[in-house]
Structure 1
Amino acid sequence: MYSKNKTLLAMVSSGALAAFASAPVVTFAQDQDNASVQAEERIQVVGSRLSMRTATDGAAPVDIISGEELTASGITETARALQYAVPSFNFPSSSITDGSDAVRPASLRGLSPDHTLVLVNGKRRHMSALVHLNGTTGRGSSNVDLNAIPISSIKRIEVLRDGAAALYGSDAIAGVINIVLKDQSEGGSITANGGQTYEGDGEQYKVHGNAGFKLGDDGHITVAAEYHHKNKTNRAGLDPRQQYPLVDGELDPREETFDRLNHHVGDASFENKALFVNAGIGLGEGELYAFGGVSERSSQSGAFYRRALDSRNIIEIYPDGFLPLLSPETQDVSGYFGYRFNLAGWDVDASAGYGESEFQYRLENSLNASIGPTSQTRFDAGTLTTDEFSTTIDFQRFFPFVNNSDLAVGFGVSYRENSYRIGAGEEASYINGGYDGRSGGSQGFTGFKPESEVDQSRDNTGIYVELENMLTANFQWGAAVRYEDYSDFGSNTSWKLSGRYDLNDQWALRATTNTGFRAPSVQQLYFSNISTLFVDRGDGPQPEQSGTFNNISSVATALGIEGLEPEESQSFSAGLVFNGYEGFTLTIDAFQIAIDDRIILSGDLSPQDSAAVADALAASGADNARFFVNAVDTTTRGVDVVASQVFNLDEMGELRAQLAYGYNKTEIDDVNLPSLLDGLEDNLFDGVERTRMTRSVPRNSGSLAFTHTLGDLETRIAFNYFGDYVLENNQGVQTEFGAKWVTDISAKYRLDAQWSLSAGVQNLFDEYPDKQRPASQFNGIFMYPNTNAPFGFNGGYYYAEVTYAF
C-alpha cells in the first residue's frame, strides 16, 4: 500500500478525519507543538477527501492564507485583506452607490460576486439581503458580506480557484472560499489598531481579539470579537454650479461664501461590532461541534447634493441645500451545530444551521419635497431580509481498491430553505404629498412601498456522490456528481472529474473538468421596488417612477419574461506544479469557464420603446421598468501563477518571497432576449453593462511580497499590481484607467513573549487611479472612478498597532 494512503488510513482510524456537511472538507485536530501547528496551517485543502494535502499537492489550484498573513499588512477589513493576498479576488471600492457603499461586492476570476461560494468551517454561509442596483461590479447580484466575519476569528482562508458545484452545489462556478475559524483551547490575543490617510481623513481605530478556553476534558470554545470605527474619506471635486435662485436677476451673494465641497465621494463611515464563537467537545464516541456569530454595522454615505435652487429641496428646511445621507443598519446572524461520529465503519457528519441577513435602509439629512416645509428629515425607508436554513448528513470511508490502493467514497444529502422579505418603509418615505408639484419620496433613496412588500421562500434537496483514489504512487483521480431539486425551477445535475500525475518528485501535471450551475437567488427572484429617479433624456434631469419588477409581476408576464432559470457552466483547467528541493514552489494553472444564461439586471424600458412596453407599464404606476433576465452567454479564460521561496540567510535571518499573478478575460458569446423585446437589445443590455461585465475588473493583477525575519523583528514589503480596466458612462464614452503599482511596507517587533508593536504604510507612494474624462466627472465633482476602483481612491494610509498575547 502506498505511503500516502497509509498516512491517510492511520488518520481515519484515529478519528481525525471529519467530513463537513454538504462538502468534502476535512480538518485535523490541532497539534499543540509549535512546529506542527505551523505545518498544519498549510495542510487543509477545500475540495478533496484525500485530505493530507498542501496547496501544491492537489488536482485543483488552492490558495491557503493564514490568519497571520491576512493581518500582516495592517488591513482591517477581511475582504480587502483577502484581495491583497489572492490577486484573482477583486474587491473594488464604490461611492454614491446606495446600499453598495455599505456592503461592497467582491468577485473571483472576474466573474459575478454570486459566482463564488463562501463556506465557514465547510458550511455554506448565507448571502447579504442587499441587491446591488447601481453601477458597481456585479450589478443585479448579491454576495456574502465577508466583512461581517472578523479577521480576529479566522485561522486561515482556503480559496479553491476551480468550479465545484458537483461538490458543494449552487454558486461554486468561479470557485469556493472556505473560512476556517480559530479553534484553540487556551491562549489568545488582543490587538488595538489605529491610522489615517495621508490627507488626514479616514481615521479609524479597531480593537479585536480572540481567546480559547478548555471545554471538558477534550473540548474547546474559542471566542473572537471586534469593534471597528472608521470615519469617511472624501475625494470629491468642488461644485462649480450655481447653488441659489437668482435675486432680482443677479447671483445671490451667498454664492461667494458657499462651501463648494458639498459632495461626499469616498469611503463610507461605519461602526462595526462582531462576535464569533467556535466550539467542539467529545460526546460518546464522536464530537459535538457548534459555531456561529453575530455582526452589526451602521454606516453612512452621501447621495447627490441637492442645491438650494433644486426643486427637490425645500428652502425653508435647507436654505443652503443639503446632502442626503444614506445610513443603513445591517445585521448578520448565523449558527451551526453538528455531530461527527463513526457508524459501521463510516465517518458521519450530521449538521444543521441557520443564517440571516438584514439590511435596513435609513435616511438622514433628507426630506420629502412633496410634503413641503413640514417634512421630516429622517426616514425609515424599509428593510430587506434574507435567511437560510440548511441541514445535511454526510458519509465517507475508504475501501480497498485496485492496484493495492484505497478508494475514498463519500455521499450525502442536504436540504436547504431560503426566504426573502421586503418590508415597506414608513409612509413619509414613499408618498407624494402633492406640495407644489414636487417629486415624492425621501431624497437620497425612496422608501419601499407596500406594493413592493414580499415574503417568499423556496427550498431544495441535494444528493451527491464523490469518489477519490490514488491509483498509483504518481496518479490520483477524482469524480463527483450532484443532483439538486428546487421548488421553484426544477432540477439540475452537475459533475466533476479531476486528475493529477506526478512526473517525478518535483514536477506534476493536474487538470479538472466540470459542469456547474447557479440557482437564481431569492433576491433576484423576488426583489421589487418602484422609486423616484432623476433621468436625463436630453432635456435635463427629470423625475421618473423607475420600477424594478420581479418575474412573477404582471408587468414581466405581459412582456413575455418568464421565470428565471439557473445559470449553467462548463469549466476546464490544466496546471503545472513544481516543488523544488530548496523549498521553491511554482504553480501555473490555466482555465476556461463558459456560462450560459447569465442573469442580469436589465437596463430601463420606457413606453416610448414599444407598444408592448407601454401597455405593460400602463397599470403599474411606473414610468420605466427593469427586470432580472437570463440574457447573456459568456466565456472567461485566464491563468493563475503562484510562486514562493524561503531563503535561509543564516545570521541574517530568514526571507520569505511570494509571487502571485492572475489574468482573466471575459467575452460575450451571445445575448438572448424574450421575443416580445426583440429589437430592444441596446436598452436591456447596453454598452455600459457590456463594458461592466467584460472590462470593469482588471484583466491582470498580481503581487510580489517579501517578509524578512531577524530575531524579534519582522519586516514586510509588498508590491501590488492592478492592471488597466475600462468603464463606460451613459453617453457611451469609455475611459481606460491605466495600470498601477501599490506598495505596502510594515514592521513588527516582539518586545517579549506577550507584547508586540507593529507599524506600516499602505499605498506608500500615494497612488491614485487615473482621473475620469471630463464627460464623466459631473462638473468636475467625480474626479476618480466612483464605482469600480480596484484599490480605491484614498491615497496613502499609515497605521500603528499593539498586540498582547496570552
Structure 2
Amino acid sequence: MKKILLLVVLLLALVPAWAQNIAVTGRVTGGNGAAQPGVTVLQRGTTNGTSTDNDGSYRIQVPADAVLTFSAIGSATQQISVNGRTSIDVRLQDATTDLNEVVVTGSRATEGRSNILTTSPVDVISAREIKAFAQVDVAQILTYIAPSFQSSRQSISDGTDHVDPASLRGLGPDQVLVLVNGKRRHSSALVNINGTVGRGSVGTDLNTIPNASIKRIEVLRDGAAAQYGSDAIAGVINIQLKDDTTGLQATSTVGETYEGDGRLYQADANVGVGLNGRGYLDLSGQFSNRGYTNRTGTDTAPLIYLGANGGYPGSANTEQARRDLKAQDDALVARNGYNRDNLRLGQSEARNYGGFMNFGYKLVPALGLEAYVTAGATRRTGKAAGFYRLPNQVTQVDLTLYPNGFLPFINTTIVDQSIISGLRGQVLGFDVDLSNTFGRNEIRFDISNTLNASLPIGLSPTNFYAGDIAFRQNTSNLNFTRRFTNVAALSTLNVAFGAEYRYDNYQIKAGERGSYENYGRLVSPGTFAAAGAQVFPGYQPSDAVDRSRTNTAGYIDLESDLTDKLLVSVAGRAERYSDFGNNVSGKVAARYSVLPDVAVRGAISNGFRAPSLQQRYFTNTSTQFVQGAPQQVLTVNNDNPIVRNGFSATGTGQQGFGIPALKQEKSVNYSLGLTARILKTATLTADAYQIDIRDRIVLSSQFSRANATVTSILGTLPVSQVQFFANAINTRTRGIDIVANERVEVGPGRLSLTVAANFNQTRVRKINSSATIDADQTGLQNTLFDRQQRNRIESAQPRSKINLTAGYALGMFSVEARTVRFGAVEYKDARLGSPAGNPNFLYSSIDQTFSAKWITDLTVGAQLTKMIGLTVGANNIFNVYPDQYKVNPRNSTTNFSVDPLLNYNSTLDNTNRGRTIYNPNQFGYNGGFYFARLNVTLPTN
C-alpha cells in the first residue's frame, strides 16, 4: 500500500511538468520550397530533439514557452519561439557562410572571420565533406580535398608503412604544425629513415584522430611560426572537435578494392549530450579493420635455389654453364611449387581502436568561467612485409627452417594518448585561457616469420621483439585576448599575448638480445651470416636513449581594422630551447578591400623549425642490403664524434666529418593573394607564395668504406656504412593556391561546385657541407646529399593538384562527384649512367617521369528515413594506376629486351628484380575501391 501511495505522489508531482508540454508538428523546406529531410530540430538549451523525415515533417514534445533550433549543413540556423503554437512550418535559407566558413585559425581575434575576410588563406573542411566519400582516415581525406596537402601510403619502408608521411605546399612532414582545438598536437615517435618521401623527418600521425569526432578541419596555408611556434613553416592544420548536443550519430562502412583485397570494415559513432544548458559532452569512438593490398610483380631472378643472391656464381662464366645452371634451378622451382610472386607490395594491414572525449562546462555562467577537457586514446596494430629472402641467399636464410626462403613481417603496435585540460574566463576585460596539453606516442616493433641467420643452423627463433620508440610532450599555455573599440583613430584593436612552456622527451628501448646480436655463424671461409632479425634488426642497448628538453616562449599578437577597408595584423614570438638556444619570429599581414566584394591580401614573416629530439638523438645499427650486398649501416646521432669536429670514437685520432651541431631551420615566407565574392553566391581566392628555408635538416646518404676518408673516420668500428642528420640544404618553394566555390539552385534541387588547385615548385639552392667533406675529391659532397635525395625534395611528390567537385541534393537523394588531377612525379636513381659503361646491365629502376593522372570518385546517398541514410559509391571509379616503372636502361619502353640469362647482374639488381611495379608517391596504387556506408542518427530525447 505504501508503494502505491508513493507512486501516486510521484505521478501527481509530474502532472504540472507534463501539463506544460505540447506536441509541435510542422514541415521544413529549403529556399526553393523543396522538402528538407534530416534537419535537426532541437529544444534550445536541452538534449530534447528530433529530425525531419523524407518529406521534411517533424514532431516534437516541448514546453509551450520553448525555443526551437532548426539546423542543417548548408543552411542558416533558425531559432523560433513556440509561444504555445502546435504547428510551425519553417523555410531554411542557404547559409551565406557555408561557402566561406567562419574560421579561428591564424588569428587570435575574439570574433572569427570568414575565410575570404582573413589576411591569410584558410581552407575549411566540414564534417559533411569528411563523410562524403570513402577515404576513411584524416590523411587521405585531406589529400583528396585540400590540393596543397599530400600524403600517400608507403610500402616496404619499415615503420613508415604504418605512419603515413604528409606534407603541405610541397614541404616536409615536420614543417606543418598540427593543432587540436587550437592546442599543439604532439608528433609521432617515428623518424623516417628509409627511402621514402619525407626521409629524415618526423611528422604528426593524423590518423590517430577518429573521423567521427571531427567538427571541421581548418588548414592555414601560410607561415605561422610567429603565432604558434616551431614547425609552422608551411602552415597549420587545426582539427576542431565536435561540441554539439544533437544526439547519436553512427556510421558503418564496408568496402574492398576492385582486385578483391584491401577489405575495409569500419564503424564509428558520436554522441553529443547537453548539460542542462551549461555545457556539452561529446564522446566519439572508432573501430577500423583494413586488409593489406598486393600489387607486386613477378620475381625475375634467374636463380632461386642455386647460385648466390639470385644471380650466377663466378664459376658459371660461359653461356652454356649459365644455361645449364638455369635449367637445374628451374627444375627445383617446378618440383617445389615455388611461387615467383613472392612479395607483398601495397598498403599494410591495420586494425585501429580509438576514442575521443570533448567536454565543456560553465562553472560560473555569470563570470563566463568554463572548464574544458579533451582526451583521446588510440591503439593501432599493423603488419607489413619486407623483401623476400631467397633460399640461395645463404647469409640470410636457414634452409632447415625455411627450405623455400621466407617473407619476413614487421608488426607494429602504436599507442597514442592525449589530454587537454583548461579553464576559460574573463579577468579585467580580457578573455583568459589557461591550459595544459599532454601527448604521448609509442611504437612497438615485433618481427615475425624471420630469423637471426648468425645463430647456429636450426636454432634461431622465428619471432623477435625488436624494441620500442616513444615520444612525450607536455605544453602549458596562458593566453590573454581582448577586443578594444574606438582606440584613438582605430575602429577596432584586438590584443592577444601569452606564454608557453613545453617539455619534450624521446626514448628508444632495446629489443631482446636475439633481435640484434651477431652470433658469428660462418657460412663459408671469410663469409659470415647476417646478424639480427632479418628485415628489422632490433635496437641495441647502445642505441637506447632517454633524452629531454624544455622550451619557454612568449608572444604578442595585434590585429586591427585600421579603416573600414584595411585590416592589419602583427605578431611576434620569442623562444628559448634548452638544447640549442634562442629564436625570434615575426609576421605582418594585411587585407585591403579594393571594391566591396574584392580584396587583396598579403603577408611577410620569418619562421623556424626546431630540430626534433628524434633527429638529434636517434641512433641505430642495422643490416641493410645495398645493391644486393648486406651492409652494416650505422645511423649515428649528430652529437657523435664521428659526425662532429671532434676525434673519432675509435680513438685513432682521425677527425670526424666536421658537421656542426644541429640548429633550427629558418624560413622567410611571402604571400600575396586576391579574394572575391561573385554574384553573392560564389567565392574566389588566389594566393601566391614563396618560402625560403635555410639549414633544412636532412638525413644524409650512406657514406661507404669504399672511400678512404670514410674508412679513416670509421676506424675499427664494425660497420661498413654510416649516415647522419645535418642542416645540409637551403631551399626555395614557390607556388599558387586557387579555390573557387559556387552553390546555385538547379531545378528543384541545389548544386554545389568547387574548383581548387595548387601549383608548386621546390628547388635546392645550396648544399651546406663541411671542410672535411669539401676537401675530399672523390665525391663525398654528392654522398651528403645525392641526386636521389634531391629528387625527394624537388619532384618526388606531385608539383600540381587540381580538384573538381560537384554535389547535387534533391529531397532525400544526393550525388557527390569528384575528380582530382595528381601532377607528374619523378624518380631519379642515385647512380649516374650505366655501370662500367655497359648499357646492357639491367637496372631495377631508372630515371623516369610518371605522368599526371585523374582520379575520380562518385557516391550516391539516400536518406531512407529520418534516422537512416545509405551511401554507396566508389573511389577511383575508373581503376586508374600510376605509370609502371621501366626496368631497362635509357628510358626504353620495352621491359627486359636484353636476355637476362646473359646479362643479369645480381649485385646491381638484387633488391627489386621486376617486383616493384608502381611509384606510390602520386596517389598510391590500390586501384578502384567500392563501398557502402550506413548512417544512423538518433536524437537523445
SS in 2 for 1:673: coil
Deviation at 1:127, TM superposition (A): 0.5
Which runs of structure 2 are paired with 1:461-480 in the superposition (5 Å)?
461-480=552-571
Q: Distance in 2 between matches of 1:610 and 1:627?
A: 18
| 1:745 aligned residue | 858
Evaluate the alpha carbon distance shift between residue 308 and residue 727 of structure 1 in structure 2; reply closer, same or farther with a 3 A threshold.
same
Deviations 1:228-262 (A, max 9, x none): 00111000011132222379962263412211111
| 2:921 aligned residue | 789
Evaluate the alpha carbon distance shift between residue 525 and residue 32 of structure 1 in structure 2; reply closer, same or farther with a 3 A threshold.
farther
SS in 1 for 2:625: strand
How many residue pairs end up in the alignment? 769
Match of 1:550 among 637, 642, 657: 637
Deviation at 1:40, TM superposition (A): 7.2
Match of 1:431 among 514, 517, 525: 517
Q: Distance in 2 between matches of 1:103 and 1:411?
A: 35
Match of 1:674 among 770, 776, 791: 770
Q: Distance in 2 between matches of 1:274 and 1:189?
A: 16
Deviations 1:422-480 (A, max 9, x none): 00110000001122321110001111111001100111100000100011111100000
Alignment-mate amino acid for residue 497 of structure 2: F
| 1:694 aligned residue | 794
Alignment-mate amino acid for residue 631 of structure 1: A
| 1:383 aligned residue | 468
Instruction: Tell me the TM-score normalized by structure 1.
Output: 0.93
Q: Distance in 2 between matches of 1:626 and 1:95?
A: 22
Deviations 1:279-330 (A, max 9, x none): 0001123110010201111111110000112121100001111000111111
Using the TM superposition, name which of 507-516 and 671-680 deviates more.
Answer: 671-680
- The RMSD of aligned alpha carbons is 1.7
Query: Percent identity, aligned pairs only?
Result: 39
Q: Distance in 1 between matches of 2:467 and 2:178?
A: 27
Q: Distance in 1 between matches of 2:822 and 2:307?
A: 47
SS in 2 for 1:370: coil
Instruction: Tell me the TM-score normalized by structure 2.
Output: 0.80
| 1:244 aligned residue | 305
Are 1:590 and 2:688 counterparts? yes
Q: Distance in 2 between matches of 1:404 and 1:356?
A: 45
Using the TM superposition, name which of 120-129 and 788-797 deviates more.
Answer: 788-797
Which runs of structure 2 are paired with 1:37-436 in the superposition (5 Å)?
42-50=101-109, 51-215=111-275, 217-241=277-301, 242-245=303-306, 250-251=328-329, 253-256=331-334, 257-284=337-364, 285=367, 286-311=369-394, 312-371=396-455, 372-399=457-484, 400-436=486-522
Q: Distance in 2 between matches of 1:804 and 1:71?
A: 13
Q: Distance in 2 between matches of 1:255 and 1:789?
A: 34
Deviation at 1:332, TM superposition (A): 0.7
Deviation at 1:562, TM superposition (A): 2.3
| 1:642 aligned residue | 739
| 2:89 aligned residue | none
Alignment-mate amino acid for residue 476 of structure 2: T
Q: Distance in 2 between matches of 1:86 and 1:385?
A: 30
| 2:22 aligned residue | none
Evaluate the alpha carbon distance shift between residue 610 and residue 137 of structure 1 in structure 2; reply closer, same or farther with a 3 A threshold.
same
**Contact 2:862–2:871 (CA<8 Å) still a contact in 1?**
yes
Are 1:805 and 2:864 counterparts? no
Deviation at 1:185, TM superposition (A): 2.5
Deviations 1:193-243 (A, max 9, x none): 000111111111101111112235411111111100011100001113222
**Contact 2:824–2:922 (CA<8 Å) still a contact in 1?**
no
Deviation at 1:186, TM superposition (A): 4.0
Q: Distance in 2 between matches of 1:39 and 1:360?
A: 48
Deviation at 1:803, TM superposition (A): 0.9
**Contact 1:402–1:471 (CA<8 Å) still a contact in 2?**
no
Are 1:685 and 2:763 counterparts? no
Deviation at 1:720, TM superposition (A): 0.6
Deviation at 1:670, TM superposition (A): 0.6
Are 1:493 and 2:584 counterparts? yes
SS in 1 for 2:198: coil
Deviation at 1:373, TM superposition (A): 1.2
Q: Distance in 1 between matches of 2:254 and 2:71?
A: 33
Deviation at 1:39, TM superposition (A): 6.7
Deviations 1:547-577 (A, max 9, x none): 1110112322332222100000001000011
Deviation at 1:702, TM superposition (A): 1.1
**Contact 1:420–1:522 (CA<8 Å) still a contact in 2?**
yes
Q: Distance in 1 between matches of 2:616 and 2:722?
A: 16
Evaluate the alpha carbon distance shift between residue 52 and residue 31 of structure 1 in structure 2; reply closer, same or farther with a 3 A threshold.
farther
| 1:4 aligned residue | none
Deviation at 1:99, TM superposition (A): 0.7
Using the TM superposition, name which of 201-210 and 240-249 deviates more.
Answer: 240-249
Deviation at 1:113, TM superposition (A): 0.6
**Contact 1:245–1:252 (CA<8 Å) still a contact in 2?**
no
Deviation at 1:67, TM superposition (A): 1.2
SS in 1 for 2:872: strand
Deviation at 1:674, TM superposition (A): 1.8
Q: Distance in 1 between matches of 2:213 and 2:96?
A: 20
Evaluate the alpha carbon distance shift between residue 478 and residue 444 of structure 1 in structure 2; reply closer, same or farther with a 3 A threshold.
same
Are 1:720 and 2:854 counterparts? no
Deviation at 1:778, TM superposition (A): 2.3
**Contact 2:251–2:934 (CA<8 Å) still a contact in 1?**
yes
**Contact 2:96–2:681 (CA<8 Å) still a contact in 1?**
no
SS in 1 for 2:113: coil
Q: Distance in 1 between matches of 2:219 and 2:852?
A: 25
Alignment-mate amino acid for residue 668 of structure 1: V
**Contact 1:216–1:281 (CA<8 Å) still a contact in 2?**
no
Deviations 1:142-187 (A, max 9, x none): 1000011111110000000000000000000000000000112340
SS in 1 for 2:703: coil
Evaluate the alpha carbon distance shift between residue 292 and residue 790 of structure 1 in structure 2; reply closer, same or farther with a 3 A threshold.
farther
| 1:567 aligned residue | 665
Match of 1:509 among 584, 595, 600: 600
**Contact 1:45–1:55 (CA<8 Å) still a contact in 2?**
no
